[in-house]
Amino acid sequence: MKNNGREAAMKYVFFASACVSVGAVVLICIFMFANGVPAMGKIGFGNFLFGMKWKPELDLFGIFPMVMGSIAVTAAAIVLGVPVGILTAVFLARFCPKRIYPALKSGVELLAGIPSVVYGFFGLTAIVPLIGRIGGGSGTSILAAAIVLAVMILPTIVGVSEAAIRAVPSGYYEGSLALGACKERSVFFSELPAARSGIVAGIILGVGRAVGETMAVIMVAGNQAVMPRGLLKGVRTLTANIVLEMGYASGLHREALIATAVVLFFFILIINLIFMLAKKRGD
């Protein structure tokens, strides 16, 4: 009898543990929205989201330049990172000699583990001066942030794409070979299209990482709160805006920063939703 009681009690303990993640999401939503939404109301939703000027000292809180900054940096990182990532995944899955595979694979995993400050520091001391020398100016720019982010999302793209390619039934590849196509043709025109939804899921995951990345971007993007004006000009992202000013902000300024995080949170929720839908289609 006593044993039965313990069985039942532990079942509830496990159940309670499982509920913690639900509780955490609810708590995060409550705290972010309760602290950020009122500021949006005070500033005016349109003025906040589409305002072109961010000047806290004048009580101007328009985050549109930062929204565009995040989009510009992410888009440029995707353009640089995705082709290399997918092709590297193709190499790993179909072209890689057995001797090289473990080294390259663990190298890619190493990229996934390197902390974002280290990436930022690398970008700051290696890439930024290079861009400055070639393109003129200080070098802190959309391009610098995009290069650093492209490297950071590489392991995500490679990992997910490789798994997707390997999950394609071998009949696709063999059937294509049997029809007389060469190896490259079979991989690119038969296997890759079949793995498409998995690869798309990987890209979306990469977009999520790039939008949410903070420390590496702060160190190389220049952080001017203005609309993106070109690849070699500086820009500020939503994430950078929060970290840069949270330290000394107070009053409405502080609330506006939390509201910035709410907008970022919203972006991520939408990206997550698209990711889950893409993954479902892949299964």
From candidates 52, 79, 118, 134, binder to other proteins by CB under 8 A: 118
SS3 191: helix
Query: Of the listed pieces 136-144, 169-177, 221-229, 236-244, which binds other proteins according to CB under 8 A?
Result: 236-244
From candidates 212, 222, 228, 234, binder to other proteins by CB under 8 A: 212
Min dist. Cβ of residue 195 to other proteins (A): 15
From candidates 42, 68, 121, 166, binder to other proteins by CB under 8 A: 121
* C-alpha to C-alpha distance for 97 and 113, rounded to whole angstroms: 25
Nearest CB to other proteins, comparing residues 130 and 178: 130
Min dist. Cβ of residue 81 to other proteins (A): 10
Per-residue x/- mask for other proteins, residues 8 to 47, rule CB under 8 A?
A: --xx-xxxxxxxxxx-xx-xx--xx--x------------
* C-alpha to C-alpha distance for 210 and 157, rounded to whole angstroms: 12
Per-residue x/- mask for other proteins, residues 152 to 191, rule CB under 8 A?
A: --x---x------------------------xxx--x---
Min dist. Cβ of residue 40 to other proteins (A): 15
Copy the structure tokens of residue 125.
């001391």
CB of 282 closer than 8 Å to CB of 201: yes
Residues 250-269, interacting with other proteins (CB under 8 A): 258, 261, 264-265, 268-269
Nearest to 275 by CA among 156, 112, 105, 108: 156
In the 8-state DSSP scheme, what is residue 53? -
Whats the size of the chain, residue-wise? 283
Min dist. Cβ of residue 160 to other proteins (A): 14
Residue entry with tokens 């995040």: 70
120 makes contact with other proteins (CB under 8 A): yes
Nearest CB to other proteins, comparing residues 22 and 58: 22
Nearest to 186 by CA among 197, 194, 174: 174
Residues 67-86, interacting with other proteins (CB under 8 A): 83-85
Q: How many angstroms separate the Cα of 123 from the Cα of each of 27, 92, 96, 154, 240?
A: 35, 27, 29, 15, 16
274 makes contact with other proteins (CB under 8 A): no
243 makes contact with other proteins (CB under 8 A): yes
Copy the structure tokens of residue 119.
């990436």
User: Which residues does 136 contact at the CB level (< 8 Å), separation at least 6?
Assistant: 232
